[in-house]
Amino acid sequence: MAFRIKTNDTSPKLAVTLEDASGNAIDITGNNGVRFHMKAFGATSLKVDAPMTVTNASGGIVQYPWVAADTNTAGTYYGEVEVTYADNTVETFPNNGYFTIIIKEDLD
């Protein structure tokens, strides 16, 4: 999955469907929190570590509303979603790598 947005844009929201290795949606009903992590390729620290909104728990659908500071630097970034379940176990999606976020420089 590659998500594209321009610098300093805050729309559209990032929407992610959490899936297992077979492509089935993960039910995250009753979770204790969902966080979005984003880091630039080659960086050592996260640019974003923030809560996500669960829009469909049984379907594993979550959203992240951007703030301008998240998209203020053009580049290619890694993204992942970390879910803490009701029993406090943690699972990160995708579990076989990352999804890509591309922030392109706007013209002004």
Tokens of 73: 């630097």
Q: What residues does 34 pair with on adjacent strands?
A: 83
Topology adopted by domain 2-104:
Immunoglobulin-like (2.60.40)
> Would you say residue 108 has pLDDT above 80?
no
Sorted by sequence, the CB contacts under 8 Å of residue 79 that are 6+ apart come out as 3, 14, 36, 37, 38, 98, 99, 100, 101
Q: What residues does 16 pair with on adjacent strands?
A: 62
CA nearest neighbour of 93 among 40, 53, 37: 37
Per-residue pLDDT tens for 50-86? 999 999 999 999 999 999 999 999 999 999 999 999 9
Per-residue pLDDT tens for 2-45? 999 999 999 999 999 999 989 999 999 999 999 999 999 999 99
CA–CA dist 92, 87 (Å, integer): 15
What pLDDT does 14 receive? 97
